[in-house]
Amino acid sequence: MTQLTLGKALGAGLRQAMRDDEKVVLLGEDIGKLGGVFRITDGLLDEFGAARVIDTPLAESGIVGTAVGLAFRGYRPVVEIQFDGFVYPAFDQIVSQVAKLHYRTQGRVKMPVTIRIPWAGGIGAAEHHSESPEAYFAHTAGLRVIAVSNPEDAYRSLRQAIASDDPVVFFEPKRLYHHKGEVDLDAPLADAPPMGLARVVRPGTDATVLTYGAMVGTALQAAEAAEDEGIALEVVDLRSLSPVDYDSVAASVRKTGRVVVAHEASREAGLAAEVIASVTERCFEYLESAPLRVTGHDVPYPPAKLEKYHLPDLDRILDAVDRVLDRPHSLTGADA
Amino acid sequence: MSPQTTPIADTAQDLELSERILAPDGSRMPNARLDAFVADVDAAQLRALHRDMVVLRRIDAEGVALQRQGQLGLWAPCQGQEAAQIGTARALDPQDYVFPSYRETGVIYARGAQPGDYVRMWRGEEGAAYDPAALRVAPLQIIIGAQTLHAVGYALGIRHENAPEVAVTYFGDGATSQGDVNEAMIFAASYQAPVVFVCQNNHWAISEPVTVQSQYPIAGRAPGFGIPSLRVDGNDVLACLAAMRWALEHARSGKGPAYIEAVTYRMGPHTTADDPTRYRDDAEWESWRDRDPIARLEAHLRASGDLTDEHVAETQAAADAVAKEMRAACLGMVTRPPLAVFDGVYAEPHTGLERQRDEYAAYLASFESEA
Ligand SMILES: Cc1ncc(C[n+]2csc(CCOP(=O)(O)OP(=O)(O)O)c2C)c(N)n1
């Protein structure tokens, strides 16, 4: 086991994937000499050369569109979008081309494209640097969507994403790039749990908090605080946002009977809505109370000084926990 | 006609291919295309341009310092680009409307920005730094190239109204790779929109050298879209002023869009979060230091006796005063209360958001009742 930051774990994952398969090529803005603006690709240009670590012109549609062509040619492109808010120029290529080509060609064309996106807020960044666009992609058939929350997961699921014959939109919480954790660099990929599985990060019996990305940490803090009040929260890291591992989710909900879904993205038509609908369909008779969402507000991502009011924190999660447990809570009158 | 080989957009060639009025040593060179556009510029005007550039450099340095001191989340320095920004912006009429990128500190300065306007966005207090209507400048744009299409749309409005105005958009060499910028040129040419494109080719798009974006001098592309272009020495404030006057006159007189590539150099990092030592070599940086736009105009003015030590001292004092006001404005900013996150999302009432706001207000109030 090695102690690595999440950022370094991702770099190690890329390196290992490139060593394992010479068809793996990287494309992106500033990923060569600079090593990417977050230094995730640091050192890869030196090891693999400019033909496999391709510093591109500043054009996201161009980057993803080119990756599509490389995939036609049998490559496994891994694309870096510099920041979440810059994926939109490439949106058409991702949802119209990357997501659909396999289907349109009845499987004759594979799109093993991994689209890495430094993602979400909490770092006091400028406009367009803290967005949570996951729902757009989860809504698009043909894409897999992964969100990681710790170095071990980052290392393993990035390699799995690259090895997958399907396109994967891979969300990296930039708030956690410098967070450290144990990573087993040598564990064979074949032995790892599939990247689509959810994981119980903390077992509990009173209510389930479903979340992903950097919010997993917040949920764990909430669970610790709840423990002081005698409440045992189960925290589940979804890890895969499309498909969601509803078997694991349902198992937890059947155990606790109460559900809170937390994410940074805004609420309207967000992932929490989908997850709660699915949980309700599957586990209605097990539910002791109506599931609740804790999300960002339905506003464009606010300027840095206001983001602390936008991002769910442990208090907002605990408030929702109180409500699903029918305990006195702060949102008076909000149950209408 | 035999096929021609295309010039490569490398650093050295760039300059030799561009229009110039002041040589790097400050001496004046005759320029058949541009001289007429600056024939009226006298010593007082030159001193004003000099002062603008000195103030801008000081504002920029203060921005970097404020960021380093933790007062700003980020800052995008423009050191080295003073002539390109001041020269072009000072050619504008007050009613013209500008669509800038995030680096155009000098352009908003020339449009009359107030001290806090330089920092409000970078500090994270508000999304837009100033009142666009007051400055006639759209909010600083972070999405690369998006603003060029906005400028063309604005120019279409001008055209419909037969107004004597021009829309101007600023963007970098990297931006020329974006679809939006190319689409903007097509739309502008198709509708003969009164818009001026100003590409500040500062040689780097973060770590990507201009050669990654363009194998041909960037100004050379515009004619392919049907837009006349000029490539000027972006460190020569007079050439920038003259070129912009040409472009504005062209657009204002109903001849359609015009395009300027100002060949310059970003002396500092891309932003305060960047580390240029990873991708840029010192020799290149030093060769550009010798073409400093402020030193060039200063040398010119000194040679003709139009700039004294007193002038320089006064200018520096004025620049320090602006920086001081900017710092005070920055440190004096008060973050809006939590419910401000909901402000301004919609122009008209939105029941969904109102409910969410009420919920959050009740939630916040619950802490007060606990206390
Ligand atoms: C659509 C989009 N992609 C990526 C970025 C990240 N980014 C910010 S500035 C920049 C480089 C821009 O270079 P250039 O257009 O030459 O302008 P300069 O910064 O040199 O003035 C990049 C890649 C962005 N802001 N928008």
Q: Which pLDDT tens digit goes with each residue over B321-334?
A: 999 999 999 999 99
Position A334 scores a pLDDT of 47
- In a 13 Å sphere around the CA of A261, the CA atoms on its Cβ side amount to 23
Q: Taking residues B333-360, report their average pLDDT.
A: 93
Residue A110, pLDDT > 60, answer yes
> For residue range B241-275, what is the model confidence (pLDDT) as tens digits?
999 999 999 999 999 999 999 999 999 999 999 99
Q: For residues B262 and B192, give the distance between their C-alpha atoms in angstroms, rounded to a whole number.
A: 22
Determine which one of A102, A129, A179, A310 is catalytic: A129
> For residue range B37-76, what is the model confidence (pLDDT) as tens digits?
999 999 999 999 999 999 999 999 999 999 999 999 999 9
Of A37, A58, A332, the CB nearest to B174: A58
Residue B309, pLDDT > 70, answer yes
By CB atoms closer than 10 A (0-12, 13-18, 19+), residue A277 is: exposed
Contact A297 B356 (CB under 8 A): yes
* Candidate of B149, B178, B200, B206 to mutate for ligand 1, largest count of ligand atoms within 8 Å of Cβ: B206
Contact A267 B356 (CB under 8 A): yes
Q: Taking residues B280-297, report their average pLDDT.
A: 95
Q: For residues B242 and A23, give the distance between their C-alpha atoms in angstroms, rounded to a whole number.
A: 52
A84 in ligand 1 pocket by Cβ < 6 Å? no
Q: How high is the ipTM of this complex? A: 0.85
| B365: chain A residues, CB-CB within 8 Å | 330
Q: What is the DSSP letter of A318?
A: H
Distance from CA of B31 to the nearest CA of A (A): 34
Contact B359 A334 (CB under 8 A): yes
Side chain identity at residue A201, one-letter code: V
B9 CA to centre of ligand 1 in angstroms: 19
In contact, A127 and B127? CB cutoff 8 Å: yes
Q: Of A56, A10, A13, A55, give the one whose Cα is nearest residue A32.
A: A55
Residues 6+ apart with CB under 8 A from B282: none
Position A336 scores a pLDDT of 35
Backbone phi, then psi, for B99, in 5-degree steps? Answer: -120, 95
- Determine which residue's CA is closest to atom 20 belonging to ligand 1: B205
Q: For residues B189 and B62, give the distance between their C-alpha atoms in angstroms, rounded to a whole number.
A: 40
Q: Please give the number of the atom of ligand 1 that sits closest to the Cα of B200.
A: 21
A85 CA to centre of ligand 1 in angstroms: 12
Q: What is the DSSP letter of B269?
A: -
pTM: 0.91
Q: Taking residues B22-43, report their average pLDDT.
A: 96
Q: For residues B39 and B252, give the distance between their C-alpha atoms in angstroms, rounded to a whole number.
A: 20
Side chain identity at residue B18, one-letter code: S
Q: For residues B297 and B43, give the distance between their C-alpha atoms in angstroms, rounded to a whole number.
A: 11
Residue B17, pLDDT > 80, answer no
3-state DSSP: chain A helix, strand, coil percent, rounded to 5? 40, 20, 40
Q: Which residue(s) pair with A116 in the sheet?
A: A80, A170
B204 CA to centre of ligand 1 in angstroms: 9
pLDDT grade for A332, boundaries at 50, 70 and 90: very low
Q: For residues A55 and A33, give the distance between their C-alpha atoms in angstroms, rounded to a whole number.
A: 8
Q: Of A146, A257, A253, A259, give the one whose Cα is nearest residue A193.
A: A146
Position A163 scores a pLDDT of 97
Question: Residue A52: how many CB atoms within 10 A of its CB?
Answer: 17
Q: Residue A139 catalytic?
A: no
Is pLDDT larger for residue B370 or for residue A282? A282
Q: For residues A301 and A84, give the distance between their C-alpha atoms in angstroms, rounded to a whole number.
A: 12
Q: Please give the number of the atom of ligand 1 that sits closest to the Cα of B205.
A: 13
Position B128 scores a pLDDT of 86
Question: Would you list the DSSP string of B62-80?
Answer: HHHHHHHTTS-S-----TT
Position B6 scores a pLDDT of 54
Q: What is the SS3 assignment for B33?
A: coil
Q: What is the SS3 assignment for B325?
A: helix
In contact, B147 and B171? CB cutoff 8 Å: yes
> For residue range A51-99, what is the model confidence (pLDDT) as tens digits?
999 999 999 999 999 999 999 999 999 999 999 999 999 999 999 999 9
Question: Would you list the DSSP string of A7-60?
Answer: HHHHHHHHHHHHHH-TTEEEEETT-STT--TT-TTTTHHHHH-TTTEEEPPS-H
Residue with tokens 């040419």: B189
Q: For residues B121 and B143, give the distance between their C-alpha atoms in angstroms, rounded to a whole number.
A: 15
Q: What is the SS3 assignment for B233?
A: strand
| A59: chain B residues, CB-CB within 8 Å | 177-179
